[in-house]
Structure 1
């Protein structure tokens, strides 16, 4: 058993409660005075004038799960009264102050206690605080008379069905507020009728604080308020919507706590000042950021990125919504109680999986250090690889973009045959002789090579890691394209001898090419990791395997950092609205 923290609540919000049928409808704070076992009575509020009779009762009785067609049938059978007189027309428009009665209420089924798990966080003689799991309906409804949370409550708290229950609703004993079937988190239950009445009064007086955590598509602005009425969707009976007419007032205030890479989705806290059906789901959709995993209110246009993250779609089995914080006065002592419940594992798994991005590794080094061989070893180990030299060679193929630019800017100077290849020997000599020409050519070709690299990242965006060899990575100002830069170091004399012997370079060419790059010491210092080329292919392959292990370890560390970050945001010590992360 965990006892609540003892501190006052700020900005409490509440749901309008159901009150007993014996209450005076002229003084009740709720338009719905009686629940399932007794006739429903209500008074039409000022802002509900002009609403159809059937629409009014559909909205008032939405918690009962009654279809609009059934309500229309009751009305046509003379079971609806307006100011004491029967009305047989479902489409009758109502006037403010009309006194309504609906005599056909949903019959309360006989409830059988069920010995199934109930996660009780706190309880005493008057109150229980539960951790509701996903895929669990709170109370019975037409067509659902078993397997609900209420059935479990009756087993674990038999007093709810005993004499001490008093006049408690037999279909929903102890229930003072609800969570949707797939919403997880904190739920308060009254264990006797006096406690239920006091909690209902606290909800009506907005002495109850309710804050949710939600994962929503995209990055909303840092914080916002949604003040938009909610009612039945005009064309879909199973959905709710923001409506201009006939809707109930609904107020939600959200704040962004964290956003995933590439602004894929965000973790937001949502404080509600009302408790309409599907309120948070409808309001976040209304502002353009529907919940992840919500098949009802999230259009397919928002979900395309999910298929690019391996395994994510399989995790999104429900709308990502969790009742995170609950504060209320104790029904007997009036002591302020406050509870914070971190999100469930499935929500954390979605955060971690959805945060995954391709680990982009850049490989650089001086001429002759073995970059190409090392890249080949990484490819042999299953990494996706890219080479800047190969990309430029492709760009210089006839009629390709690099070839076209050379032809357009320099005529036949480097492409003597209008249909032939680039004369790379002439191009290299010109670059050595004219520094200005080298800078001009770099300004033409480097953007094309970088676009080629961006296409590579995009093509392999579902892979955990990819590597690109870029000799001038640091000199060209591309580090922002990479998560990690690896420098390949080699004994200077050995690599120079290799270039002179195997590439046919002379000392002057070697000096010129090295002058186009940073000094070796500066280049190596700028890298995140350095791999020494030992001089043999077998040993180089072993170093490649070692790098792959290091990269995997770094990815795991990144996951741990994300988990630690989210945990810090949602734990009781850090979950204060006065100092959001």
Structure 2
């Protein structure tokens, strides 16, 4: 989608060139190369300029981001989605259970990407699908989407620096300790394209912090709040199984469907600084209806 970004140069940036200013602002090398190759996207005080153009106090630097080619492999489909927040740079959605995020084999027309493609096509806007975080098909809750390449690059860098806080709610078997940290490496299980396991020799570093919020003795399960330091595939599901408290309803790691028909995992909170304005932002999604058996 098209986007215009403007910056006013202050004392702090007095000696900078445009390129140095943008590097200080967090623009990646890849984005700077794209801007260098397309100088018409850069204007200083209304005049097309280059990255090596010097800046003066009071200057106005404007970047014009053109429309990008629409993802041709994502079919627009009119599907219901729950938009929690949207501005020119990002979208926060509350994803429903059973909806995949990306098209894949067997899921070409029922994904979140299809729904967003339809939403933007109906408004006559170009849109490239950029999911910042990932949720399994049956996990509910908050998903962060970047609307253009600049916000996408900033949010990806924030993810790598662990500057985006993600917290989940899960209902697990048994009664875990009051709180704890699980630091166990995760790898793909031999012979499976989907399942993951703890692998001390070949696994990727993975850290999950948890706190037990409530325990139901009559149900034999607990409500747990979890915070991720890393984002490995199936991280919460594998880590909680590893300490003896797997998620209820998990078809891969604990197919106990007495109370819920999917893994009892909900992306509850996401907090970060806005990639363009720097404003502190925090969003929460209410617990899904199928968690109600616990109360």
The answer to whether residue 183 in structure 2 is matched with residue 240 in structure 1 is no
Q: 1:333 aligns with which of 268, 277, 295?
A: 277
1:213 aligned residue (165, 169, 185): 169
1:174-253 equivalences under 5 Å are 174-253=130-209
SS in 2 for 1:188: strand
Q: Structure 1 residues 263 and 117 mapped into 2: Cα distance closer, same or farther (>3 Å)? A: closer
Q: State whether residues 154 and 160 of structure 1, in contact with CA within 8 Å, keep that contact through their aligned partners in structure 2.
A: no
Tell me what 1:270 maps to.
Answer: 226
- Matched-pair contact (CA < 8 Å) for 2:100–2:107: no
Whether 2:266 is the aligned partner of 1:322: answer yes
- The CA RMSD measured in Å over matched residues stands at 2.5
Counterpart of 2:131 in 1: which secondary structure?
coil
Aligned with 2:73: secondary structure? Answer: coil
Q: Among 111, 118, 123, which residue is 2:81 paired with?
A: 118
Q: CA deviation at 1:161?
A: 9.1
For the pair shown, which has the larger CA radius of gyration, 1 or 2? 1
What is the count of residue pairs matched by the alignment?
Answer: 231
4+ residue segments displaced more than 2 Å = 20-24, 141-145, 157-163, 234-238
Quote how far apart the aligned CAs of 1:22 are: 5.0
Higher-helix-fraction structure: 1
Secondary structure, counterpart of 1:151 in structure 2: helix
What pairs with 1:37-436 in structure 2 (closer than 5 Å)? Answer: 110-158=73-121, 162=125, 165=127, 168=128, 173-262=129-218, 264-298=220-254, 303=256, 313=258, 315-348=259-292, 350-352=293-295
CA offset at residue 110 of structure 1?
A: 2.2
Counterparts of 1:330 and 1:222, CA distance in 2: 33
Provide the rounded CA distance (Å) in 1 between the counterparts of 2:274 and 2:31: 23
Aligned-residue offset at 1:149:
0.2
* Structure with more strand by fraction: 2
Kindly indicate whether the alpha-carbon contact (under 8 Å) linking 2:79 and 2:110 is maintained by their aligned counterparts in 1.
no
Name the TM-score, length of structure 2 as normaliser: 0.72
Extract unaligned runs of 5+ from structure 1: 1-19, 25-107, 304-311, 353-581
Residues 162 and 224 of structure 1: CA distance in aligned 2, closer, same or farther (over 3 Å): same
1:160–1:192 Cα contact (<8 Å) kept: no
Q: Secondary structure at the match of 2:169?
A: strand
TM-score by length of structure 1 reads 0.38
Residue 145 of structure 1 and its aligned partner are, at CA, apart by 2.2
Determine the C-alpha separation between the residues in 2 that align with 1:329 and 1:316: 35
Higher relative contact order (CA 8 A, sep 6+): 2
